[in-house]
């Protein structure tokens, strides 16, 4: 059974993990605080921070797992999708290790890894299952037949769910990434106080850009209208006071709308496919409203629901390691010519 060292560097987290016999022994994550002041990830700074973090992070993952490099059977890395400069740091590091140690290389798709994070710990879903993958860059419903066969059956046509959280937070004057802060303030708020519209998108696809626009107008009108109305136009001072006085209710209402958009499509997908093992994955699956909503919706429809542990929801190398474990078993190795790619093709 394989011992795998996995590296994830697709965006702004540098992470390394050791997985032996399909068990995660370490999962080390270095966050990059440098982006906070810019209100979003700055690709150039992310690549530089990966360069600084990667050696200590890999070292810490090996030490925590009590594992020596010589005993590793394969080196895995995130090949795509992500920021190209960030991906290249992890890929080059993994390739160098593979070459120096003469060990096979495994290239992993970041979005498939988010889905397979659900296989890290018990209880695990049975195949086939559905996974709603919701992150800063993606919103997908994935039909998962086996660790090797997955199909995207619904996805966003504009913003991702994480972006919807982060962009809404920005409009409220909250720092990046705003998703966790909306979650925090929403806990004290009334989700029924403000009613944001649900987009009417056919099939299993999602759209979040209309929500962002209605929040913008809602704030410009100091809560009096969801559409642009000049007669309600608030001054910057009135807008600021309105947000300050109603922050918890605004956050709870925005969160409620994003969560219902996600769960309504997931319910439709479950009905259409007849599948009852339902998972969520990706950074937004850390959202407490979504976690609670999934549980409630699952109870109502007789689903078995699965959510990875918090540390396996946001970007992490353990999900790359578990995916690589299955790839190793299938003999699916990459060679040194494996190209990193910013794009998300499966
Ligand atoms: O999967 P992830 O760590 O990175 C990407 O691959 O994008 O997801 C990051 C996203 C960000 O948009 C962040 O705001 C969102 O996940 N997020 C949350 C929460 N925790 C992270 N959104 C809402 N509520 C949370 N608790
Ligand atoms: Zn991700």
pLDDT tens figures, 201-222: 999 999 999 999 999 999 999 8
Quick one: pLDDT at residue 87?
A: 97
Quick one: pLDDT at residue 255?
A: 98
**Structure confidence at residue 226 as a pLDDT band (50, 70, 90):** confident
Atom of ligand 1 nearest to the CA of 169: 14
Residue predicted with more confidence, 104 or 342: 104
Measured CA to CA, the distance from residue 280 to residue 293 in angstroms comes to 11
Is residue 345's pLDDT more than 80? no
Average pLDDT over residues 287-311: 96
Query: Considering only CA atoms, which residue is closest to atom 19 of ligand 1?
Result: 180
For 59-64, the CB contacts below 8 A with 24+ separation are 60/16, 60/26, 60/28, 61/5, 61/16, 61/17, 61/18, 61/26, 61/27, 61/28, 61/317, 62/5, 62/16, 62/18, 62/26, 64/18, 64/25, 64/26, 64/28
Is residue 228's pLDDT more than 90? no
Atom of ligand 1 nearest to the CA of 163: 12
Domain ranges of the chain: 3-117+312-330, 125-308
Query: Considering only CA atoms, which residue is closest to atom 23 of ligand 1?
Result: 179
Enumerate residues 6+ apart whose C-beta is below 8 A from 126: 277
Quick one: pLDDT at residue 343?
A: 83
pLDDT tens figures, 106-156: 999 999 999 999 999 999 999 999 999 999 889 999 999 999 999 999 999
Kindly report the pTM of this predicted structure.
0.93
Residues with CB under 5 A from ligand 2 (ion): 135, 315
Quick one: pLDDT at residue 308?
A: 93
10 Å CB burial of residue 16 (0-12, 13-18, 19+) is buried
Average pLDDT over residues 22-46: 88
Whether a cis peptide bond, with omega within 30° of 0, leads into 123 is yes
Is residue 346's pLDDT more than 70? no
CATH 1.10.150.120 matches 125-308:
no
Query: Considering only CA atoms, which residue is closest to atom 16 of ligand 1?
Result: 283
Task: Assign 271 to helix, strand or coil.
Answer: helix
Quick one: pLDDT at residue 30?
A: 92
Task: Assign 31 to helix, strand or coil.
Answer: strand
Alpha carbon 64 to its chain centroid, in Å, reads: 25
Eight-class DSSP state of 126: P
Same fold, 3-117+312-330 and 125-308: yes
pLDDT, averaged across the chain:
94
Is residue 307's pLDDT more than 90? yes
CATH of 3-117+312-330, one of 1.10.10.10, 3.40.50.970, 3.30.70.20, 3.30.420.40: 3.30.420.40
Q: Which residues line the pocket of ligand 1, CB cutoff 6 A?
A: 11, 135-137, 162, 165-166, 177, 179-180, 183, 282-284, 286-287, 314-315
283 CA from centroid of ligand 1 (Å)? 4
């Amino acid at each position: 059974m394989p011992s795998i060292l996995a590296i994830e560097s697709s965006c702004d987290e540098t992470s390394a993990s050791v997985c032996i016999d399909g068990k995660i022994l370490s999962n080390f994550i270095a966050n990059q605080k440098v982006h906070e002041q810019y209100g979003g990830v700055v690709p150039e700074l992310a690549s530089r921070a990966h360069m600084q973090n990667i050696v200590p992070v890999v070292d810490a993952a090996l030490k925590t797992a009590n594992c020596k490099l010589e005993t590793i059977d394969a080196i895995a890395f995130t090949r795509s999708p992500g920021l190209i400069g960030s991906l290249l740091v992890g890929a080059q590091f993994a390739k160098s290790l593979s070459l120096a140690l003469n060990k096979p290389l495994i290239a992993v798709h970041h979005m498939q890894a988010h889905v397979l994070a659900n296989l890290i710990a018990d209880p695990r879903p049975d195949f086939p299952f559905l996974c709603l993958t919701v992150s800063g860059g993606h919103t997908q419903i994935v039909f998962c037949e086996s660790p090797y066969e997955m199909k995207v059956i619904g996805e966003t046509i504009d913003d991702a769910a994480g972006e919807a959280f982060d962009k809404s937070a920005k409009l409220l004057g909250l720092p990046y990434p705003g998703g966790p802060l909306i979650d925090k303030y929403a806990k004290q708020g009334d989700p029924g106080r403000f009613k944001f519209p649900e987009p009417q998108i056919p099939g299993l696809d999602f759209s979040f850009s209309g929500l962002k626009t209605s929040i913008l107008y809602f704030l410009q009108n100091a809560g009096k209208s969801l559409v642009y109305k000049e007669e309600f136009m608030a001054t910057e001072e009135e807008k600021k006071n309105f947000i300050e006085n109603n922050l918890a209710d605004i956050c709870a209402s925005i969160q409620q709308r994003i969560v219902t958009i996600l769960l309504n499509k997931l319910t439709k997908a479950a009905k259409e496919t007849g599948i009852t093992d339902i998972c969520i994955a990706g950074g937004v699956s850390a959202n407490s409203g979504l976690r609670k909503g999934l549980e409630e919706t699952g109870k109502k429809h007789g689903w078995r629901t699965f959510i990875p542990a918090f540390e396996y929801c946001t970007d992490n190398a353990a999900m790359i390691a578990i995916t690589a474990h299955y790839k190793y078993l299938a003999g699916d190795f990459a060679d040194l010519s494996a190209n990193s790619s910013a794009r998300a093709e499966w």
